[in-house]
Structure 1
Amino acid sequence: MPVLSVIVPFHNVGKYLGPCLDSLAAQRFRDFEVICVDDGSRDDGAAVVAARAAADGRIRLIQQANLGVGRARNAGVREASGRYLAFVDGDDMVPRAAFQRLVTSLESTGSDLACGNVMRLHRNLLVPSWAHREAFAEPAARTHITRHRLLIRDRMLWNKVYRRSFWDALGLSFPDRMYEDQPVAIAAHVGAGAVDVLHKVVYHWRQRDEPGASITQRRLEPDNLRDRLLSVLETAALLDARARRLRPEFDRDTLEIDMAVAVEAIAGLGADADDALVDLVVRYLDSVRPDVLPRVPYALRLLVHLLHQRRLDEVAHVFAQARDGLLHPPVGSAGLLRKRWYGRHPALPGHLSEVSEELSPTARLVELEWRGGVLRGAGRVGVGRFDVSELDRVRVSVWLEERRTGDRMPLSVESASPTWENVELPDGGCVPEHAFPFRFAFDPAALTPERIARLGHWDLRVGLKGPGLRLEGKVRGDRRLPPAAPPPRRRAGVWLVPALAFRGAWGLRLRRAGALVRHCEVDGGDLVFSGELADPGDGEPVVRLVRRSDGEEMYFPATLAGREFHARVPLAGIDESVGEESWWEVVVDQGRAIRTLVRTQERQPVRVEGRSFLVDRSDDGCLLLLER
């Protein structure tokens, strides 16, 4: 008998099944069986399994008609003979040490199940799974979902190993529908005597490219939504019966995830929405505690309230407004000693209108340039997507704040009365229409020798201050649209680099330059740039492109004449974008990495063989290439 039984249901995922089984065969933990259940596939998936089974006696194949993944998993469990159970979807992959870590943990602690962290897999790129990041931030042995409540988000089946005796004693089995794993995963968490939480990644959850290929991609289809809602109702009933204290956490996540999908689907269906679907939504919302919905973001709260009341025409109208950035509820306050803030909408009752915890400044730059040796900028700051036209005596302040030390340099600010007309902005309307315009100026003379010596990174921040109102945040922007970052300026041997950071915040970086790029352009589909090395070494340099998301590297030749270097990078030869976008940092390598400093102000969007690139600067002035 093997120690571990791994059940792999599959249906029409032949192109991914081979890599999945290869990742299982490569596990450091060796004492397991793999039971592959063909759920009526019409592709070559069964042949892929048969070929692997011929080479590895631990793998075997069973087949059934297309009865659904729930029945396929149940069939695999019936065939399993191991002391432990694990589940893997046929299009996903498992890191080499995963089962070793999970089984070893259970053997050590005696817990009923062990679960671990997850990464999303898109082609060859891995990124953290948002659903698991917080719950698995810290390891914990012999804990429980009632003590580690973030595990309410751990509703997937496959990042776990279960003790088989525990599984059977709890009588766990999968319902005959989609989203069958949520009620089973939560039932296991609630029913366990103890659970091990591993911070290490134990599962790679694939994001597939083909439109409509996965259950998640078909989430707006009525049958898909019906099964999602049935799983939500089943899980809610389980928690009511066995862990009532977890309902608020479950409902908060369900409102923001599942109900958001329900709103989108039913808004799209409009008058054609099935009454039975709406009945399922209402049935769930009837069971949600009154104090939970006000904790949901305002726009979604409004839409869920309308859906709960079956006001479907209004759901469709408000959803379209929110989607198009046209939902701007006016904000007002109440109270004297402790002001509370409310977003007013005729459809939302007062007890659901408070937005005090949601208010934050939304600031965007529309101008930034050096004039007379001073960095001058202009922007607009509002309060999220709320209409703040009723606010009075509000003052705008702008400052630079050093990330490491918190040191602040206040900037001179000119602010004007708020404007409420529709204004066409360079960033495509990301700034609220109802916003306070401001202008500021930064004089490099404010940089003392101590500040210059720290070579710090300073964020541009903005504050709004008025009666009962104290808000502050970063000034952000969209790096694909104007304004372009001004060129670096030199002061006391250090470069001052105004730039938009990788995650969209404007700031000022103080740094030295090992390689200065003086000329950069796209010529005939090639990125051509040249400049000067501060300290040229021996031998020819190369250009190294480093992808920020995963560290992938590509190399291209360069030439050196004295201090001057020249490089040409064919854009068509760069690895294709993984996911929505890929960021490549350009480094000159001469046996050591020499990070560039780009003086050119141009931001060049180009298309090469159907691919879209943007040549830009990073937040510290390094040459950056974005494919989107």
Structure 2
Amino acid sequence: MASTRKRVRRAFQRFSAWLPGPLVRVIRDSPLGRILPRTEPVLSVVVPVYNVEDYLGECLDSVLAQTLQRMQIILVDDGSTDGSAAIMAEYAARDRRIVIVRQANAGLGAARNAGITAARAPYLTFLDADDTVPPDAYQQMVRTLSRTGSDFAIGAVRRMRHGHRSVPSWTKNVHQVERLRVTIDQFPDAMQDVIACNRMFRTEFWRTKIGPFEEGTAYEDHVPMVTAYLRAHAFDVLTTFTYNWRIRENATSIGQQKHLASNLEDRLRVKQQALDVVMREASSEVRAAWLGRVADTDLPVFIPYALAADDDYRAVLQRAAAAFLAHFDDAALRHARPSRKISVALVAAGRWDEVDRLLEFTRLNSMQAASTVVGGRIFADLDFGRDLALRPEMYEYSDHQSAYQAVVRGIHWQADRSLQIDGWAFIGGVDLTELKPDLRFVLRRLDGSGELELTHRRRETPAATAWANQPNHRYDQGGFVLTVPVSRIVTAGPSRWQLRVRIEADGVVREGPVLQLVRTGIGDRMPSSPTISPLDDTRVVPLLDSSDGFVLTVQHGPIRANRLEVTQTGELVGSLSVLQPLPSPPTRAVLLEKENRSVCVTTPLQRDAAGQYGFRLTPPAGKGSWELRVVTESGEQHRVMWPVEAVTGRTVADRRGRLLWQRTPRGLVQAARPGRSVQATAVHLDADRLSLEVQTAGLNAAALRQAELRGDAATVRAGTVEPLGPQRWRLTFPTRIHYWNAAEPRPLVSGVYGIAIPGRRAAQSALPTVTFGEPQHDEVDDSENPDARPGRSGALITENPGADEAVIDDELHGDAREVGDRLGPGHEIWVRAGDDLLLDLPDDQLTSSHHLTVARRTRSTRLVLTVRPPLAVEERGRVSQRRLGQWYRQTTFEPADQVLFQCYRGEFATDSQLAIHQELWRRETPLELVWGVSDYSVELPAGARPVIIGSRAWYEAIGRSRYLCNNIDFDRFFDRRDYQRFLQTFHGYPFKSMGISFWRTKDFTEQLIEFECRRRNEAWTSIVVPADFCEEIYRREYRYAGEVLVTGYPRDDALVAPAAGTRERVLQRLAVPADKTVLLYAPTWRESDATGAWAARLFDELDLDRLSAALGDDYVVLLRGHNYNLRDSSPQSRHSARIIDVTRYPEINDLTIAADAAILDYSSLRFDWLITDKPMLFFVPDLEDYLASRTALFDFAPTAPGPMLQTTDEVIAAVRELEAVSAEFAEARRDCNTRFNSLNDGRATARVVDAFFDQGGRR
């Protein structure tokens, strides 16, 4: 029996190598698993767990999804008091690799030490239980360490917040280039990366050279990581991401407690301990790098908290800054950015007011301050701390800030087989607006045996400035086009040639390899040299190497195809030439699976009289791609080079494009069944339409007519499909759209778009689908689709349950069924960029309505179309906007009799601005009515002239207009002229904390608060308030001394006496039958859901699908997200036949009039809704938390005349009893209206216009 079990185990071990990991786990966890081989773990993963029930499942899922299977997963329960223990037990029951160690709460260091004690694998890593690991991270580090023999490996880190990812600056500095078997003396900057969880150690190295973590302190990982660098004989630095570091939304992690004095003291204690180790064991260069990190990161991160802290906290930080400042020599200072090291010096001197100003200056101007070059050194133009007689090095750009950047944008092979390379190169901090750098390029053979200088020409390249994305420097003049005479680097054997650049600008010199590549263009699909002669055995392959940067590799191959065919019976036919002597003759042609390199098809070679080798192959059925190789008699495998392109082209396909030979980017032969696919070969935008030329496989015109231009703001159906040749078509999409069934079309809204061929059910989406031509109500045939629903444009949108998966997986779905078959539910095809098009990407196109950037995704070839407003080149980007702001402030404008209106960031023409515009227009004002808009898609009232926000014309309008009317503030560049009046209307009833009370909750210093109040007082000449008691609020919160118009809100006039037929008109635009009960759900944004400036995720606690299903067909829910939700890139909502996302609908008053009841929360919309006297429900499951994080100016409950609901079930019950609920709160609504809306009588707009404009705007 024992021998049988052994044989089964050995057989399974061999067999399991071919099985996917999840299937192996299923078998091992089954009863059969008892007789299967027990493999020892390769890696021990230590996961301390303490009260992380909200994150633990996602963390463990990421570990179990690792491609590395042989793991010991050690969960250390550090005395959790929430549901973490149950989650651990559940996962341990499912996977035998999980081990649970329990202990009383002792802190992170003690928990990690307990895990280390339990570790039994040769490799060791750490993982915090609120973070995640990319799927291939552990496998890649194990493979690297096995290959290099280093003591540990470290990978790049991504930060995660609200589902959005960012990369810390130290990750970019450390992990730009792969460095294997490096020492800390060879790469001192590795000291910038000292977190524990993005790296993997040899367990023996940890136990013998590092030892345990310190217990009972925060930042316990800093000293062990520094020690590891110093004591390792070698370590590996990877460019790939090995860790996803979560920034908790609830701010409960240790690193988010920097406001606590104990946290500061712990950080300073471990810094002192690390300093002791560094001073004892490190070289002077390594000491400088580590001290530079202290100056640039460790001390400055506490300074904002010190500004808001008490004197004791400040005193601790001041003493530490002074102590460390004494250690900072010139070499250390070169590792720190000027604003950071100056802030440390100011703290050491106790100059807290100046520190405050410096931090605010840096926040507004970035770390990359304007600069001056003196004697070949770059200094920041900062006027802080000048009287302290600080060393010049304190103001000098850090080495990383002033490093050179050299980027390849694209390559093109010329007819003479020379290679043209275009890109840009510049030195960070050296402005090239009036300066042309001196560039020199060479190819250097990596074995050191040769160097070739290259010729180049300059090319002004605005993309260089856009790529740098800095506010104070232009780099357009760094563009280049260079030519490589490839014949001069072709050698008898293989060789590798590194592209290097020397840059001199204003006396500053930098040189080194070209390390970067624009990945949204040709990227990693750069083609190898074309074949000119069938006897040529050479390929020159350009690639971006993780260690060496851009290199040209010269490769020689012994076998080239000279004929390739695809028969109509599905056979692959060809003949081959042997160009070099082989150790043994070729005998077989084989196809290898691209994924696992396994042989799937083999056939004998037939040698003819001319010495050519012929073959016939039948590839496997189904979608896939296979590499062609030749196997010799002795078993050697050889790749096959592509024939002469001028004769064969780059693909050879059957008539339908379903089976083909393809030239790979590296010039080799592969076969493929692409399934159903669409590749774009050309993209062109004109004033009214977007045109694509495409090559298809497995699709006909009927399928292509379903194509959709899909974006985060709209979905547009194809207008025309025109045949151009076999499997070649031209698709056009309209770029003037009837949004929401408007009578007049408007230009396509800005956003990021892709093009998809959907199945019978179109993609599930929150986006309006619009069709070519006039407004659509009955031209879309949905007779066979019971799930058709009205979209935000009023056209019909249908649902596709598989759409989300298709987007995430980035795969082409579908099989090789008959051409023209309709795609089934859940299947869609995304258009990808063909190789010819990729060579010209990214590509910018400009029309009078749009600026289009054509590119591709960085990790696939899916086509990405980014539509922006039509700003000129000199108006785009941070530096252009900074300089336009400076131009505006320095220019003396001629006053113009006009009003500039603006709402929010220009996405809508709405709010009180719209009401004031309409009143002026009604009065036949002689004033020109100008609107600042985000793009030309914005629906404007009669008489409006749009200007694009950020354009020179917009800045000019701000400077010239006698009247300015906004519901938010202009940015910091704004400087009101004496002839101007600025009416601030605000965009909501005052309830939530604002001004001083809000700023104090954000730890603004009194100095900064005074600045913010002064800025607004200098800008506003009049403000509008809705009630008498509000005047005191605004004067108090902004120390406002100007005119207050106590008039009521102009925007509410339309709600007091709605125009006849408004509800019917709005429901028609929404394609909602008039007999439906319409519920408006309008949640406000939460600060915990903020994803950026002016952006936040949608609050999604209310289960709209369940609400809609429970209420049935008689109800329609209108979902109105906050304005901030428009600018968040994550999916905003889900839809069904009875849910319509109206976040982008242009006028909230329309929705208020059209709806029968509202589900609200803390939004000021409730005060407007009160005017209608319709029932309102309050879904406030986070009432206590919300009011704790955003304090109120007065009590919430008296302002909310409706039931307070906590769950979806409670909302369902309340809606079912809507009439009773309305009656119950009728008196409360009347009382609220009396208190808050007494001035809203339908004449507020007239009062404002009479008071603000000279002679009521009539002259």
Q: TM-score range by the shorter chain?
A: 0.5 to 0.7
Does 2:685 match 1:516?
Answer: yes
Superposition pairs for residues 591-602 of structure 1, below 5 Å?
592=831, 599-601=847-849
More off after superposition, 28-37 vs 303-312: 303-312
Pairs within 5 Å for 1:433-472: none
Instruction: Give the deviation of 1:99 after TM superposition.
Output: 2.2
- The match for 1:538 among 701, 704, 714 is 701
Q: Does the Cα contact within 8 Å between 1:541 and 1:588 map onto a contact in 2?
A: no
After superposing the two structures, state which structure 1 stretch, 227-236 or 584-593, moved more.
Answer: 584-593
SS of equivalent residue, structure 1 residue 7: strand
1:120 paired with 2:175, answer no
Alpha-carbon offset, residue 75 of structure 1: 1.5
Q: Secondary structure at the match of 1:220?
A: coil
Task: Check 1:571–1:56 CA distance in 2 against 1; reply closer, same or farther (3 A cut).
Answer: farther
Provide the residue aligned with 1:423 in structure 2: none
1:205 corresponds to which residue? 245
Give the match for residue 298 of structure 1: 338
Contact 1:135 1:151 in 2 (8 A): yes
Verify the 8 A CA contact 2:210 2:224 in the aligned structure 1.
Answer: no
Query: Does residue 1:137 correspond to 2:176, yes or no?
Result: yes
Deviation of the 1:56 alpha carbon:
0.9
Report the equivalent of 1:241. 280
Q: Name which of structure 1's ranges 583-592 and 99-108 shifts more when overlaid on structure 2.
A: 583-592
Q: Secondary structure at the match of 1:142?
A: strand
Distance, in Å, in 2 between the alignment partners of 1:126 and 1:211 is 17
Shift of 1:69: 0.9
Flag the 1:285–1:586 CA change in 2: closer, same or farther, 3 A. same
Return the letter of the residue paired with 2:1121: E
Q: Does 1:586 align with 2:753?
A: yes
How far residue 561 of structure 1 moved from its aligned partner, in angstroms, is 5.0
Measure the CA separation in 1 of the matches of 2:75 and 2:739. Answer: 42
C-alpha distance after superposition, 1:183-240 (max 9, x if no partner): 11111121112223333332222233x1413333333332222222222222221111
Q: Is the 8 A contact 1:117 1:201 kept in 2?
A: yes
Aligned ranges 1:138-287 → 2 under 5 Å: 138-175=177-214, 176-208=216-248, 210-245=249-284, 246-269=286-309, 271-287=311-327
- Counting only pairs closer than 5 Å after superposition, residues 409-488 of structure 1 correspond to structure 2 as none
Q: Output the CA distance in 1 between the equivalents of 2:378 and 2:683.
A: 53
CA gap 1:571/1:247 in 2 versus in 1, 3 angstroms:
farther
Aligned residue in 2 for 1:457? none
**One-letter identity of the residue aligned with 1:315:** V
* Contact residue 605 and residue 613 of structure 1 kept, 8 A: no
Structure 2 residue 117 is the aligned partner of structure 1 residue 78: yes
Q: Which residue of 1 aligns with 2:719?
A: 560
- Larger strand fraction of residues: 1
In 2 relative to 1, CA 535–24 (structure 1 residues): closer, same or farther, beyond 3 Å? closer
Matched, 1:31 2:70: yes
Q: In the TM superposition, what is the alpha-carbon distance from 1:30 to its structure 2 partner?
A: 2.3
- Relative distance call for 1:338 and 1:92 in structure 2 (3 A) is closer
> Which whole-Å CA distance do the structure 2 matches of 1:470 and 1:140 have between them?
27
Sort the Cα spacing of 1:184 and 1:556 in 2 relative to 1 into closer, same or farther, 3 A. same
SS of the residue aligned with 2:719? strand
**Aligned partners of 1:160 and 1:14: how far apart in 2?**
25
Taking only the aligned residue pairs, the percentage that are identical comes to 26
Whole-angstrom distance in 1 between the partners of 2:377 and 2:149 = 51
1:609 aligns with 2:1121: yes
Structure of greater relative contact order (alpha carbons < 8 Å, 6+ residues apart): 1
**Structure 1: which 5+ residue stretches go unaligned?**
361-383, 386-393, 412-429, 436-464, 472-511, 520-530, 548-553, 573-582, 616-626
Please name the residue that 1:95 is paired with: 134
What residue identity is the alignment partner of 2:847?
R
Inter-partner Cα distance in structure 2 for 1:142 and 1:333: 37
Post-superposition Cα deviations, 1:105-129, rounded to whole Å, max 9, x if no partner, equal 3334433222223333445555545
SS, match of residue 54 in structure 2: helix
Q: Decide whether aligned partners of structure 1 residues 342 and 100 sit closer, same or farther in structure 2, where only a CA change above 3 A counts.
A: closer
Find the aligned partners of 1:410 and 1:29 in 2 and give their Cα distance: 44
Change (3 A) 1:101 1:546: farther
- SS of the aligned residue for 2:150 comes to coil
User: Aligned residue for 1:453?
Assistant: none
Mapped partners of 1:86, 1:318: distance in 2: 40
Aligned equivalents of 1:249, 1:352: Cα separation in 2: 19
- Residues in 2 aligned to 1:330 and 1:566: alpha-carbon distance in whole angstroms: 43
SS in 1 for 2:175: coil
Aligned CA-pair RMSD: 4.9
Distance 1:297 1:158 in 2: 26
Whichever residue aligns with residue 609 of structure 1, its letter is G
Q: How far 1:272 sits from its partner (Å)?
A: 5.0
Q: Distance in 1 between matches of 2:140 and 2:460?
A: 49
Matched residue SS, 2:907: strand
Q: How far apart are 1:130 and its partner, in Å? A: 3.3
The offset of 1:251, in angstroms, is 1.5
Aligned equivalents of 1:28, 1:326: Cα separation in 2: 40
Is the 1:255–1:296 Cα contact (8 Å) retained in structure 2?
yes
- 1:60 to 1:277, Cα distance in 2 relative to 1, 3 A: same
Normalising by structure 1, what TM-score? Answer: 0.62
Give, as a single letter, the amino acid of the residue that structure 1 aligns with 2:313.
A
Contact kept? 1:267, 1:319, Cα under 8 Å: no
Task: Give secondary structure in 2 for the equivalent of 1:292.
Answer: helix
Query: In 2, distance between residues paired with 1:211 and 1:517?
Result: 47
Alpha-carbon distance in structure 2 between the residues aligned to 1:170 and 1:10: 26
Q: CA deviation at 1:249?
A: 0.8
Partner of 1:47: 86
Contact in 2 for aligned 1:334/1:341 (Cα 8 Å): no
Does the 8 A contact of 2:213 with 2:221 survive in 1?
A: yes
Give the Cα separation in 2 of the matches to 1:395 and 1:196: 36
AA at the equivalent of 1:407: R
Contact 2:75 / 2:98 at 8 angstroms: preserved in 1? yes
Q: What is the CA-CA distance between 1:9 and the residue it aligns to?
A: 0.7
Shift of 1:8: 0.1
Alpha-carbon offset, residue 155 of structure 1: 0.5
Preserved CA contact (<8 Å) 1:270 1:316: no
Structure 2 length-normalised TM: 0.33
Q: Distance in 1 between matches of 2:293 and 2:738?
A: 46
Q: Give the superposition deviation at 1:242.
A: 0.6
Change (3 A) 1:234 1:338: closer
Structure 1 257/44 Cα, relative in aligned 2: closer, same or farther at 3 Å? same
Letter aligned with residue 264 of structure 1: P
The answer as to whether partners of 1:513 and 1:596 remain within 8 angstroms in 2 is no
Q: 1:138 Cα shift?
A: 3.2
Distance apart, 1:58 and its partner CA: 1.3
How far, CA to CA, are the matches of 1:562 and 1:266 in structure 2? 64
- Which has the greater radius of gyration? 2
Amino acid at match of 1:222: A
- 1:317-370 CA-to-partner distances (Å, cap 9, x unmatched) read 55455556699x9999989x999998655433052477465899xxxxxxxxxx
Decide whether aligned partners of structure 1 residues 311 and 149 sit closer, same or farther in structure 2, where only a CA change above 3 A counts: same
